[in-house]
Amino acid sequence: MNSSFENQVLDLLPRLRRFAAGLTGQTADGDDLCQMTIERALYSRDKWEDGTRLDSWMYRIMRNLWIDETRSRSRHSQTFVAEEAGISVGSDGAQEATVELSHVDRAMQKLPEDQREAVLLVMVEGYAYKEAAGIVGCPVGTLNSRLVRGRDALVALLEDTV
C-alpha cells in the first residue's frame, strides 16, 4: 500500500520521539525537537526522493536541527548572562543600563524590517544563519547580507547617540 508522505511521517512519530528524547535528554525538549523536525520535513518534502528511506532522511533533519540548537545554546551562553542574572539588572539604582537599552531599542526600530529581523534572529535569539534564513524564507547568503548591513547600521546609529 502506497501511503501518503504525511502518513509515513506519522508512522515514524514514536521512533522520532524516542530519538529526540535521546538526543536532548529530556522528553519535553525532545518533543520540541521532534516538532521542529516534522515542520522542517513538511516544508522540505520536495527534497525527499520517493522510494528512499524516509526514516533516515528524518533522522538527518533531526540531527542537524539538534546540532544547530546545541551551537546556538553555546553561542547564547557565551554572549548573554544567565536569565536569572537579569533579575538584578538595574536594581542597584544604576540607570545607565536602562538608558543604553533604550538607545539600542530605538536604534533597532530605525533599521529596515529585513535587517532588524536578521539581527534579532541571529544576534539576539541565537539562531544559526541557516535556521534564521529558513525562518524568514530567504537564502542563507541573503540573510548574511542583511545581518551585516543591519549590524553595521546599528553600530553607526549607536555611535551617534554617544
- Of 19, 52, 54, 55, nearest in space to 34 by CA: 19
The domains located in the chain, with CATH, are: 5-79 (1.10.1740.10), 92-161 (1.10.10.10)
Give the CA-trace dihedral at 111, 113, 115, 116, to 10 degrees. 70
Measured between alpha carbons, how far is 120 from 88 in angstroms, rounded to an integer?
23
Write the pLDDT tens digit of every residue in 4-13: 888 999 999 9
Helix%, strand%, coil% for the chain, nearest 5: 80, 0, 20
pLDDT digits (tens, 9 = 90+) for 34-57: 999 999 999 999 998 888 888 888
Q: How far apart are CA 27 and CA 121, in angstroms?
A: 26
**Is the entire prediction scored with pTM above 0.85?**
no
